[in-house]
Amino acid sequence: MRALLLAGLILAVTAPTLRAQEPADSVAGKAADSLAVKAADSLAARAADSLAAGADTLRAPRRAVPRPRPPRAPRPAAADTLPARARPDTLEARLPDSLVGLPDSTLQKIRERTPLFPQDVDPYTPLGLGTPARTVERDELRGWGAATLAEILPRLYPLALDEQGGVGFFGDVRIASGLPAATRLLIDGRPLESPMGLAADLRTIPLAAIERIEIRPGAGVAPGGAEAGSINIVTRTHLTPQASSTLSFDLGSLDREQFAAGLGRWLGPRVSVLAALKFDDSSTLTQVADAKTSLFWGRLRVYLSRRHFVEAAYGTSEATTGSNRSVADDFSPFTGDEDRRERRFQALYRGHIGPVLASTALYADRFEEREAFDLDGFPLLLGKADRRGARGSVRVGVGGGTLEAGAEWQKEELDSDASAFQDGAGASLDPETGFDDDRSRISVLAGFERAADSLSLVVSARLERFEAAGEASSEPTLSIAARYAAPGGIAPFVRAGRGARYPSFVEAAAFARAGGPDALRVATAEELRAGAGWRRGGVSVEIGGFARRGSDASLWFPPTGWRSAQGDESVRIGATDVPPGGFAEVNLVDPRAQGVDVRVTLPLPLGVTAEGFGLLQSVEDGDGRRLPYVAEAQALGRLSYANAFFPSRNLTVRAEVDTRISGSRTTLSGEELPVFAQMDALLRARLIGFTAGLSVQNVFDQRIRTEEGFALPGRLTELQVAWEFWN
């Protein structure tokens, strides 16, 4: 009922915007109150059909009457606009020089962005991180009946999925060659994980708020540290004057019902707003209780001029889940109820000050676990943690490239009386043991990118200083990457990186109980990657190899065992042998990882495209013993077909079949979990603004055995109906 009322409210608010608007209401068409941008030099000053001339995938809505060309605005002051230049009457000619000649996919992104602040592509990701190994665009998320990113991301890139019971439960992903805490998940450039634990809850971000997801494997630079790689979730920030909004409904297996909405529009010529929300209700794995999530993400952006803007973003999420065993030998070890809440806020300024592009941000996040499951009789973590911080950077052109420098400050505080943060007598740990529930991090960063002829160079460095319990530790992180475009379509590349990560609160507490202040160590990793890519005639192949050496990395048994940390768990600091035992054991290891990965894209007859990923690796402790719960082989395969029909191309159809394979894994007890393969399928049709998608996860209804000893659900079928309309 709540979802239906909310849908009616959104329709009531947005319905008036469906009428054709006069040019005076658009960003570039307003003459007297506009931002004084010359009509011919703006991306949006052209008539609606001019933006669609360069790509069939972007078409402006048809209007009942011809739109008169807006009068030319007075010429702007030099300090408030881009240099006026005589350009041919094409879209590419009206783009900044640095963007001309980029691939069509990049130009498509630029077309969809606001005509204001045209050089601004991403106000969050620091410069110097390099091109992601995989970028997941917003369109790839549509149609799949998935409640969280944990259900989608492992289908798009070789990632390890740490699940805690299937649909409705906590789920986290990580780079497959790294330990559970070695992958940093970010949202708009800041950590997504709670300071209490190792992993990020991927139930907390509504999919309608996401613009793209950048996956960067390998040790390197990331806020908070990345020993094995980072995944950056970039939310939608750029809206065109004709920004689109969506409403979607999902019905599927396990009694899942989902309503989601995304609203983006302009309020006058200088203000844009974005709001995304989702309500989800489904049965849990045991089907004796419900899992509910409610999410909201909103952003307000105000353009002070063509060269300056400020914005505020706020997100909140709540997940409540129940699980009770119907019989004594039920395969789910989770019992009781769960109540998790997260809140995030960020304020941002970005603007050109002479030749410098400056950014400043303030953020504050809160993570609460009010009620938690028992896991095999032990309670999961309870409490709340606060994170607040500030960061700033400046970007300027230097020597034919672009240089960025900045600094960041972050403070984290914990408030919990859970047994994980107590000593054996039940008293809270004090700083003398090496544990501190109030800590801070200060870092300075610098990045440089340059593309000269056939050679591109990307360098990024960050110096992290961690302070806790009266002690301070400084660690440098670094990433250097070079790629050369050789004749014949061959592009060799090389990348070197170093990452460092400070322990989370639950890790620090475990180490403090076991070994005192001397046991609290910063995890580090160094990595070298090299390979080559080749592209010709629609065929592309990339082969690379990597070798990584880490030290003082925390390994929890099994990967999701950290969620049940107790005061009397067995902790071995510096052990040279993988210890036997059960949940919530932790060890410090010096991991060694090496492997080869391959990516292939191949066009097939009848408009079908084949894409494949393969990863073959070895992940061991420093003494050569294979680490448990890490698959040595992973593979992804995808067959996709997409086409548009009728002269208007208003009907588009997409069909996709994905298969992912995970190799065998050794458990802590020495048992070998078998190889498993899972196939997912999608059929999606879009007619003008209406989309219907039918998806099936685990087509062959396999029961997948996990590390915790229980089986994940079999086939999941879901129907999604969505309506996308122009404001």
Q: Where is 111: in which H helix or E strand?
A: helix 104-111
pLDDT at 63: 37
pLDDT at 489: 87
The residue among 693, 698, 692 whose CA lies nearest residue 716 is 698
Q: Which residue has the higher pLDDT, 333 or 371?
A: 371
The pair of three-digit structure tokens given for residue 569, joined into one six-digit string: 């768990």
- Given a cut of 90, whether residue 498 has pLDDT beyond it is yes
- Given a cut of 70, whether residue 331 has pLDDT beyond it is no
pLDDT at 383: 92
The residue among 501, 613, 497, 587 whose CA lies nearest residue 547 is 497
pLDDT at 94: 36
The residue among 379, 338, 383 whose CA lies nearest residue 171 is 338
Q: Where is 505: in which H helix or E strand?
A: helix 505-515
Distance CA 219, CA 148 (A): 26
pLDDT at 565: 66
Write out pLDDT tens, residues 126-179. 766 777 888 888 888 888 877 788 888 888 888 888 777 677 788 888 898 888
Query: Are the CB atoms for 604 and 641 separated by under 8 Å?
Result: no
The residue among 299, 239, 236, 30 whose CA lies nearest residue 115 is 239
Confidence tier at 270 by pLDDT (50, 70, 90): confident
- Given a cut of 90, whether residue 657 has pLDDT beyond it is yes
Q: Which residue has the higher pLDDT, 574 or 292?
A: 292
pLDDT at 389: 94
Full DSSP string of 593-657 = EEEEEEEEEEE-GGGEEEEEEEEEEEEE-TTSPBPTT--SEEEEEEEEEEEEESTT--EEEEEEE
Confidence tier at 524 by pLDDT (50, 70, 90): very high
What does the pLDDT average to over 241-257? 82
| 644, 647, 648, 649 alpha-carbon torsion, rounded to 10° | 0
- Given a cut of 70, whether residue 37 has pLDDT beyond it is no
Distance CA 332, CA 323 (A): 8
- Beta strands 229-235 and 210-217, pairing class: antiparallel
pLDDT at 710: 57
Q: 62-76, 122-136, 247-261, 524-538: which range is least confident on average?
A: 62-76
Q: 172-176, 374-378, 405-409, 617-621: which range is least confident on average?
A: 374-378
Q: Give CA 620 to chain center in angstroms.
A: 28
Q: Give the highest mean pLDDT range of 200-204, 469-473, 539-543.
A: 539-543
ω into 558 cis (within 30 of 0): yes
The residue among 600, 621, 603 whose CA lies nearest residue 612 is 600
Confidence tier at 702 by pLDDT (50, 70, 90): confident
Distances from the Cα of 520 to the Cαs of 441, 464, 468, 488, 725, in angstroms?
16, 16, 10, 52, 53
| 326, 329, 333, 338 alpha-carbon torsion, rounded to 10° | 10
Query: Are the CB atoms for 410 and 389 separated by under 8 Å?
Result: yes
pLDDT at 399: 83
- Given a cut of 80, whether residue 96 has pLDDT beyond it is no
- Given a cut of 60, whether residue 100 has pLDDT beyond it is no
- Given a cut of 50, whether residue 50 has pLDDT beyond it is no
pLDDT at 420: 82
Q: pTM of this prediction?
A: 0.81
Distance CA 523, CA 586 (A): 14
pLDDT at 241: 55
What does the pLDDT average to over 680-695? 91
Q: Going along 399-488, which residue ranges are E strands?
A: 401-415, 438-452, 455-468, 471-484
- Per the prediction, the chain carries an average pLDDT of 77
pLDDT at 564: 67
Q: Give CA 88 to chain center in angstroms.
A: 38
pLDDT at 60: 36
Q: What percent of the chain has pLDDT over 90?
A: 33
pLDDT at 707: 61
Burial class (CB in 10 A: 0-12, 13-18, 19+), 541: middle
Q: Which residue has the higher pLDDT, 58 or 172?
A: 172
Write out pLDDT tens, residues 421-457. 887 777 888 888 888 999 999 999 999 998 887 899 9
- Beta strands 183-187 and 229-235, pairing class: parallel
What is the DSSP secondary structure assignment for residue 33, as one 8-state letter? S
pLDDT at 344: 96
What does the pLDDT average to over 392-401? 89
Confidence tier at 675 by pLDDT (50, 70, 90): confident
